[in-house]
Homo-oligomer: A and B are copies of this chain.
Amino acid sequence: METFSVRTTARNELVNIDGAVSAALEAMGAGDGVATIFTPHTTAAITINENADPDVCRDWIEKLCRLVPQRESYYRHNEGNSDSHVKSSLVGCSEQVIVRGGRMVLGTWQSVFFAEFDGPRARQVHVAFTPGG
């Protein structure tokens, strides 16, 4: 298992982590198998989305923040981040990516993103590799 850090700069933000995941796989000597990319936080997530037009990420955040706004009259958790926990759980704290010859098999437009929902913060991401066909 390898661990790397991500520094976020906004309350809600998508950070491309393709480079860090690839470096982790190389450090583990990964061949053919599956990478599990997991963040150990309950107000953040890992997702796969388009890496070409930055407006795709921007629209994604905007839509998510309107579906799950920060304040709702019925929230009881007193830290003001119930929305962050909901977003984290809906998007999910891990992704699994197929690996061939040590490299992630992603589509042309796909990248792996760290999704921050309660930033800015210093965050961690773990990468594990399970060999297979």
* A contact residues vs B (CB 8 Å cutoff): 1, 28-30, 32-34, 36, 38-42, 47-50, 53, 55-56, 58-60, 62-64, 66-68, 72, 74-79, 82-83, 85-86, 88-98, 100, 105-110, 126, 128-133
Contacts and interface: CB of A to CB of B under 8 A. Distances in A.
19 contacts: A1-B105, A30-B133, A33-B128, A40-B108, A41-B107, A41-B110, A42-B50, A42-B109, A47-B92, A48-B89, A53-B79, A55-B75, A55-B78, A58-B77, A62-B72, A62-B74, A67-B68, A94-B97, A128-B133
A94 B109 CA distance: 16
Contact of A67 (B67, B97, B105): B67
Q: Which 4 A-B pairs have the closest CB atoms?
A: A40-B107, A130-B132, A59-B82, A55-B77
Nearest to A131: B132
A43 B33 CA distance: 25
B75 A1 contact: no
A83 B64 CA distance: 11
A133 to B, nearest CB: 5
Contacts of A53: 77-79
Contacts of A77: 53, 55-56, 58-59
A33 to B, nearest CB: 6
